[in-house]
Amino acid sequence: MDTTTALPPPEPELTTDPSDDIESRIARLPIPFELLVRGLSCATAAPPLMELGDDEGGTDGRPEDLAKQGITTVFTKLSLPAQGLTDLSFLKNFKYIQRLELPGNGISNVEPLSHLPNLVHLDLSNNKLTSVLEDIRCVSPSQTIPALESLDLSRNQIQRIGDLSRHKYLKRLSLERNLIMSIEGLEGCKFLGELRLGHNGISKITGLDDLPLKKLDMRWNRLTCLSGLSRLHELTHLIAPHNAVSSLSSLAGCSNTNPILSHLDLAHNLLSDVAELSTFKDATSLRSLVLKGNPITGRGEWEEEDGESEAGSSANQRPAGHTPHGRTAASSSSSSVTLLPNTRTPSAATLSPSKPQSDPTFYRLFTIFVIPHITSLDNRPVTPEDKVAAVNRFDPPSEVRDAVLHAEWTAKQAKLYARVLHNDMAEQRGGRLRPIVLCGPSGVGKRTIAAQLAAEYPHVFGLAVSHTTRRPRPGEEDGVHYRFVPKMEMEEMVERGEFVESVTLFGNMYGTSVGEVDRVAEEGKICVMSVEVEGIAALSRSNLRPRYVYVTAPNIEVISTRLQHRQRTMNSARLSKSQMQTNFSAFESAVEDNPRTDSAQGHSPDHLQPGSLDNEILQWIENAQRSVASAQSIGMDFFDLVVVNDDVNKAYLTFRDFALKACRGEAVLNTELANF
């Protein structure tokens, strides 16, 4: 008996032409084959045996079936951005795709994705989706939903998140720039580590308890508080700029509830209580803090700063109902130091609301003092010098206190010495060049005849440009008609003794600085200045020894007529911007443009309503009457010349003759003066 085992007959060779099947499959593709070829990448060997079941085409997809078709390589990535795709049915033939990138298309139905069981990364941003993968179904009852790890559905039309428990392996989810109003359906995503929900309309953080989130991005929403974070124990980055958060109280105890929080961005919110920064004094893991653009930084008008916090947000995407904020950058350099009580935690008394408003360094130094372990504040590094300055300010050693007191005393002595030098220099200049001072009521033409003299003899006479705190009128230029400065700056200049005279009329300050007189004197010219009668008292106490010219009008009716003409000219300039310069020039040639009866607050002509002309003129007339009374109290004998300006040409000739005769007696090294 033959015990040899009989071999099975060889299998018959395949008689089908694989190219036929490939061509038929290519023909069924809803997109051009060339486009598909360009989008496929990341080729790899066919995977090992997997029980996947039959697909709709009747092909298992097992390795032996792939081998029968001559397929030993599969593609794991498909990227087709901005190709106008609307139908994804062709994906049924590419079940080994792991990374699918289809941004910028017109996709609204994602049901074909259920045939991609190996899908790990999915990018469907900037499409037309209205739900979060609710169209995906199981391929077979025994098969789970594709195990996505990264999902980007930003820039769609999604209004609600829905239940994502079927995608329990999600690690990264981006739903930015949609229409989402609340957070829901994420309870089953037990591996979710990064969630981006920026540029939506979410007003409250909910539904995130016990998730392993490490990064939460909530920028440009409608948050008013930061509750709902107490059970996010693995959170390291919280990004919520451009919301309406007004308090940090909901983060109290974050050192226990969020023990590894290292980056907190709350820029451009409504935080205003600087004392709430002590909330983070025990948050030892916090390294980066961004609070710029909040009232807490101590500025009333927020200044723009380069860059966005966590770049990527755009200004035109702010949801409705937000209060726009600007941006600030607090200065970290050391300035004049104000010593506070010697205590490690500054008391409420030291945190007065006026303190940050008056000192731009207060916020930054106080934040660094309270949270000494941070390394970056408002996207700027915290240097060792910053930390030393913070300690020296809020808990200074005794030797630092003594050094600061000595520096303040030295500065006061330097200011006093500077005033003495100013007086000495003024006395020396007074022996060489005596200025000519014109004074008188508003509307009599002081500036007109002074400007005419300087224009006719530009190498002999020079005009001192006055400082003022009022805002410019139409056609006025800074440094030509006036030097327009903030009120605080001018008050500091007055305190330093930088003005030979200064007055306050209707809430505005006006004055002639020592520097302007020096500038004209250094040019070898006679300084001509126009002041109010109230400024005569200050000039009379100086060492300039000026010559005084009193300019007046025949009567108060003439002054009233000129003031009304001035107001009509100014109104015309405001009504027609195209004729602004022409009206201003006509006004200058007609009457003197003396602004010292105006105001930028309350009584100013710029703020009165069109129907209040009579009241405004009445105020000017009353001021003119006070000027006349002041001059009479001084006595007309005090003035070197009195000019009655009933005709501007005659008045100018009288003033010019006086000025030229006065100049002949001056010891001035000026060849043109020597000819007079």
- Which pLDDT score is estimated for 596? 39
Conformational region of residue 228, where left means phi above 0, alpha means psi within -120 to 50, and beta covers everything else? left
Side chain identity at 649, as an amino acid letter? Answer: N
User: pLDDT tens digit string along 328-338?
Assistant: 333 333 333 33
- Which pLDDT score is estimated for 66? 52
Tokens of 181: 């109003």
Tokens of 119: 């899908």
Tokens of 218: 């909530």
- Which pLDDT score is estimated for 80? 92
User: pLDDT tens digit string along 528-567?
Assistant: 988 888 778 777 777 778 899 999 888 877 777 777 777 6
Cα angle, residue 465 at apex, residues 462 and 468 outer, rounded to 5°: 165
The rounded distance, in Å, linking the Cα atoms of 598 and 413 is 37
pTM for this prediction: 0.53
User: pLDDT tens digit string along 8-49?
Assistant: 544 434 334 444 466 676 666 667 777 777 888 888 887 664
Q: Please, what are the domains in the chain?
A: 34-202 (3.80.10.10), 237-306+320-396 (3.80.10), 427-674 (3.40.50.300)
H helix intervals, 224-370: 254-257, 354-358, 362-370
Q: Are 220 and 199 in contact (CB under 8 A)?
A: yes
H helix intervals, 541-647: 556-575, 580-590, 613-634
- Which pLDDT score is estimated for 212? 94
- Which pLDDT score is estimated for 612? 44
The rounded distance, in Å, linking the Cα atoms of 549 and 435 is 11
- Which pLDDT score is estimated for 614? 57
The list of the chain residues with pLDDT below 70 reads 1-23, 25-30, 47-72, 135-146, 299-360, 409, 412-432, 567-617, 664-676
Establish how many alpha carbons lie within 13 A of residue 68's alpha carbon, considering only the half-sphere containing its beta carbon: 13
Conformational region of residue 475, where left means phi above 0, alpha means psi within -120 to 50, and beta covers everything else? left
- Which pLDDT score is estimated for 137? 57
Conformational region of residue 321, where left means phi above 0, alpha means psi within -120 to 50, and beta covers everything else? left
The helix, strand and coil proportions of the chain, stated in percent and rounded to the nearest 5, come to 35, 15, 50
- Which pLDDT score is estimated for 595? 41
Side chain identity at 29, as an amino acid letter? Answer: L
Tokens of 288: 């980066």
Number of H helices, E strands in the chain: 17, 22
Cα dihedral: 226, 228, 234, 235 (round 10): -20
Tokens of 364: 């930054």
- Which pLDDT score is estimated for 571? 62
Strand order in the sheet with 641-644: 461-463, 526-531, 436-439, 547-552, 641-644
Contacts of 646 (CB under 8 A, 6+ apart): 553, 554, 558
> What are the C-alpha distances in Å from 217 to residues 115, 176, 299, 589?
32, 9, 27, 64
User: pLDDT tens digit string along 574-618?
Assistant: 555 444 444 444 444 444 444 433 433 333 334 334 444 456 667
Residue with tokens 């995906």: 136
Phi and psi (nearest 5°) for 324?
Answer: -65, 140
Phi and psi (nearest 5°) for 315?
Answer: -70, -25
